[in-house]
Amino acid sequence: MEAFTSLDWFAVGCWLSAFVLIALGFAGTVVPAIPGLPMIAGGAWLIGWAGDYEKVGWKTILFLAVLAAIGVAIDTVAQTAGAQKAGATRAGIIGSLVGTVIGMFMGLFGILFMPLIGAAVGEFWAKRDLLHAGRVGIGTWIGMVVGTAAKIALAFIMTGVLVFVYLTA
């Protein structure tokens, strides 16, 4: 039985790190503080690097990086656009961001509902109109759900492209 060389261990380390990055990237499509799509692109880069870019080359990595950037932009715009479409003021948008940060420490409930609550509280504080605050909270939440759905779809697309390119190269 032949011993692993240091180059073999390097490749194994790259592959393991890539799998961890991709798995964390999928988690990051739902958890706001984790940059999920860039992590998936980083995992693809590690897979390419481990194989000297023979199967997963620079074109694929660049394509995945562009998809990651598009996903980050969509996520950023969706929540704010949802709030603005509902007539949010600056206080409502700041409330949404504060709610998002607080929600990260509250588990699934916090991730799902604290941006809505934060936007509604911020908007109510600014305008003292409960109905308007509720509309802004729901608009923010819908924007967040749309952004998250887009990120999840892009995560599966990115992973599918990576697997396809690797298996067909």
Q: Exposed, middle or buried: residue 33 (CB in 10 Å: 0-12, 13-18, 19+)?
A: exposed
**What integer pLDDT is reported at residue 1 of this predicted model?**
47
- For CA atoms 91, 95, 96, 101, the dihedral sign is positive
The label of the residue with tokens 């261990």 reads 9
pLDDT at 110 over 90: no
Tens of pLDDT, residues 9-58: 888 888 999 999 999 999 999 887 788 999 999 999 999 998 889 999 99
pLDDT at 2 over 70: no
User: How many angstroms separate the first and last alpha carbons of the chain?
Assistant: 29
Distance (Å, whole) CA 70 – CA 106: 28
What is the rounded average pLDDT of the residues 138-164? 92
Report domain extents, the chain.
6-168
Predicted model pTM: 0.81
Model confidence at 132, in pLDDT bands (50, 70, 90)? confident
Tens of pLDDT, residues 46-93: 999 988 899 999 999 999 999 999 998 988 788 778 878 888 888 888
Tens of pLDDT, residues 112-123: 888 888 888 988
What's the mean per-residue pLDDT of the chain? 88
Distance (Å, whole) CA 141 – CA 128: 20
